[in-house]
Amino acid sequence: MGAGIQVSGLNASYGSNHTLFDINLNMPANNATALIGPSGCGKSTFVRCLNRMHETNPIATVTGKVLIGELDIYKDLSPVEVRRRVGMVFQRPNPFPTMSIYDNVASGLKLNGFSNRRVLDEVVERSLKDAALFDEVKDDLKKKSGASLSGGQQQRLCIARALAVDPEVLLMDEPASALDPVSTAKIEDLIFQLKSQYTIVIVTHNMQQAARVAENTGFFLNGKMIEFDATHKIFTNPSDKRTEDYITGRFG
Amino acid sequence: MSDYAATGIAILSTVLVVAPLVAIFIYLIYKGASSLNLAFFTQIPKPPGESGGGMANAIFGSGVLLLIGSVLGVPIGIAGGIFLAEFGRGSRIANAVRFTADVLNGVPSIVMGIAVYSLIVLPQKHFSALSGGVALGIMMIPTITRTTEEMLLMVPNSIREAALGLGLPNWRSVLSITLRTASPGVITGCMLAFARVAGETAPLLFTAFGNQFWSANLNQPIAALPLQIFVYAISPYDEWHRLAWAGALVLIVLIVVSVALVRYVTSRGVLKGAS
């Protein structure tokens, strides 16, 4: 099951560069939430705050409160515990190049000391099926490297890898921006199906994509969240002038 | 036209690079191959004047010394490289370690021998295989540390983020993901260091010292191929000169074989399409 996300008073910066200003946001469980906005508006920084990835940069700081389910990820959990609950898919596919397809998917469990063969086999198969990749790779699971797959397959492999540790939330930072239209459509279908099991937060530059996959959409500009509402409302009748200007292509 | 010129220059450079190696190898075979026989690999040296004898104890001794050196130098060298690339990046202590490694790399090998002589041989009051191995091990460290660092820095950050994003602790991510991704380059660095010290003579003069007889005792002087070659080459006997050539040939072949063996063993796990 997915968990809801409540963000209040979130501020983030890189050194002296303040990148997120007082973000307040409520993302319901088992929904997809899209974050849109021009490049550099802080949407990537925002999702990186949701799994405490932001602070892996030594000059990065973050303040505020992020509740995932009942737990404050900055108070009640260590970064490692947070990232077990909040999986992430990155902009560019990043499979582990020296590992087989199987090991890529199993890595999160294996490297955390989980070694029951039978259960691992099951988890790998289920995750690859959930990521709609199983049929394409089932004959090469242990023979081929994750890096030998096509870009779209690699991204679905990365999704399977994230699903294998059974997170509550899945963050996707422009997961289809490096992919061709066919692969993009596959990823979007996937997001639709994954919603039943996970809460999804997706950053995207593609507004049609946001409209297709997400119940709610947030619009970011210059480190502030300008508007957050039901997706159809944002795209048909935004309440802020700046949102309207952006979605109608007047800037950004 | 200029394309042909560039190709020509590239081919010429390749020939210039390979030629010395081939020339040395051919000359060694020409000079040494005739003295190679079973006895060379099974017998210990005979006293001057008697014909025959071999370098079995020196081959074995070199193996022992290189084993000690690798056991010491490889883990410390790799750990140092991991520290420089993953944990100490940009810190003052990392800069100091990197500087020290570079200086250590430039220290003449005979100075390394003297250093280990005063650190181990003098307090123990005798030469030993152990001190020789330590000298070789210390010489391996800077090469391994710096190549490990370079190779780890070449691993894209996206791979580290993928590992951390799965909820792996940082140390786990470094050892099982980053180091593993960089492992082909790290292994190359280790082999370079190994091949370099395998032919070292100077650091062994004051440490392993050499031995005309069989010895597997780490606390006793031990024979080594480069030492034996050195002793035979400067001797006045023709028979010993021929054995020195044969020894040099065996040394080179053994280095090539062991490097190839390590490459083969470590490449067996590599998968189709792995970069």
Q: Where are the domains of chain A?
A: 5-247
Q: Which comes out higher in pLDDT, residue B170 or B50?
A: B170
CB contact at 8 A, A127 and A110: no
B184/B193 Cα distance (integer angstroms): 14
Mean pLDDT of chain B: 92
Show residues of chain B in contact with A168, CB under 8 Å: none
ipTM of the complex: 0.90
Q: Write down the pLDDT at residue B271.
A: 65
CB contact at 8 A, B111 and B203: no
Amino acid at A152: G
**CA B1 to the chain's CA centroid:** 43
Taking the Cβ of residue B112 and every Cβ of chain A, the question of whether any pair is shorter than 8 Å is answered with no
Q: What is the SS3 assignment for A28?
A: coil
Residue B272, pLDDT > 70, answer: no
Q: Write down the pLDDT at residue B122.
A: 94
Show residues of chain B in contact with A53, CB under 8 Å: 161, 164-165
Average pLDDT over residues B145-152: 96
Enumerate residues 66 to 125 of chain A having a beta carbon within 8 A of any beta carbon in chain B. 79-85, 87-88, 90, 92, 94-100, 107-108, 111-112
A53/B273 Cβ within 8 A: no
Of the candidates A234, A101, A93, A246, the one whose C-alpha atom is nearest the C-alpha of residue A164 is A101
Please tell me which of the candidates A107, A147, A149 has its beta carbon nearest to residue B166: A107
In a domain, B21, yes or no: no
In a domain, B54, yes or no: yes
Q: Give tens-digit pLDDT for B82-127.
A: 999 999 888 999 999 999 999 999 999 999 999 999 999 999 999 9
A98/B181 Cβ within 8 A: yes
Work out the minimum CA distance from B189 to partner chain A, whole angstroms. Answer: 18
CB contact at 8 A, B153 and B115: no
Q: How many domains does chain B have?
A: 1
Residue B269, pLDDT > 90, answer: no
Q: What is the SS3 assignment for B222?
A: strand
CB contact at 8 A, A216 and A29: no
B210/B109 Cα distance (integer angstroms): 17
Show residues of chain A in contact with B172, CB under 8 Å: 111-112
**Region at A93 (left for phi over 0; alpha for psi -120 to 50; beta for the rest):** beta
Q: Give tens-digit pLDDT for B161-207.
A: 999 999 999 999 999 999 999 998 999 999 999 999 999 999 999 99
In a domain, B236, yes or no: yes
Alpha-carbon dihedral sign for residues B67, B73, B76, B81: negative
Taking the Cβ of residue B162 and every Cβ of chain A, the question of whether any pair is shorter than 8 Å is answered with yes
Please tell me which of the candidates A83, A100, A161 has its beta carbon nearest to residue B164: A83
Q: Write down the pLDDT at residue B77.
A: 97
DSSP A190-237: HHHHHTTTSEEEEE-S-HHHHHHH-SEEEEEETTEEEEEEEHHHHHHS
Q: Which helix (H) or strand (E) holds B18?
A: helix B2-32
For residue A230, give every residue at least 6 positions away whose Cβ sits within 8 Å of its Cβ, in sequence order, or none: A215, A216, A217
CB contact at 8 A, B204 and B227: yes
Please tell me which of the candidates A56, A84, A140 has its beta carbon nearest to residue B167: A84
Show residues of chain B in contact with A15, CB under 8 Å: none
Q: B44: domain range?
A: 36-267
In a domain, B177, yes or no: yes
How is residue B34 written in tokens? Answer: 């005739």
Enumerate residues 169 to 188 of chain B having a beta carbon within 8 A of any beta carbon in chain A. 169, 172, 176-177, 180-181, 183
A158/A161 Cα distance (integer angstroms): 5
Of the candidates B198, B192, B202, B108, the one whose C-alpha atom is nearest the C-alpha of residue B150 is B192
Work out the minimum CA distance from B179 to partner chain A, whole angstroms. Answer: 10
Measured distance between the N- and C-terminal CA atoms of chain B, rounded to whole angstroms: 34
A203/A11 Cα distance (integer angstroms): 18
Q: Write down the pLDDT at residue B270.
A: 67
For residue B253, give every residue at least 6 positions away whose Cβ sits within 8 Å of its Cβ, in sequence order, or none: none
B180/B272 Cα distance (integer angstroms): 16
DSSP state of A239: S
B68/B196 Cα distance (integer angstroms): 15
Work out the minimum CA distance from A206 to partner chain B, whole angstroms. Answer: 22
**For an interface test with A, which of B176, B271, B275 has the most A Cβ atoms less than 10 Å from its Cβ?**
B271
DSSP state of B87: I
A228/B67 Cα distance (integer angstroms): 65
**CA B272 to the chain's CA centroid:** 30
**For an interface test with B, which of A51, A55, A111, A159 has the most B Cβ atoms less than 10 Å from its Cβ?**
A111
Please tell me which of the candidates B169, B176, B271 has its beta carbon nearest to residue A80: B169
Show residues of chain A in contact with B177, CB under 8 Å: 96, 107, 111
In a domain, B7, yes or no: no
- Class for the domain spanning A5-247: alpha beta
In the block, tokens 């959930």 appear at A130
Measured distance between the N- and C-terminal CA atoms of chain A, rounded to whole angstroms: 36
Work out the minimum CA distance from B217 to partner chain A, whole angstroms. Answer: 41
List chain A residues with pLDDT less than 50: none
A53/B164 Cβ within 8 A: yes
- CATH number of residue B59's parent domain: 1.10.3720.10
Instruction: Classify burial at A31, counting beta carbons within 10 Å of its beta carbon; exposed 0-12, middle 13-18, buried 19 or more.
Output: middle
Q: Write down the pLDDT at residue B89.
A: 86
Q: Could you give the percent of chain B with pLDDT greater than 90?
A: 76
What band does B273 get if pLDDT is binned at 50, 70 and 90? low
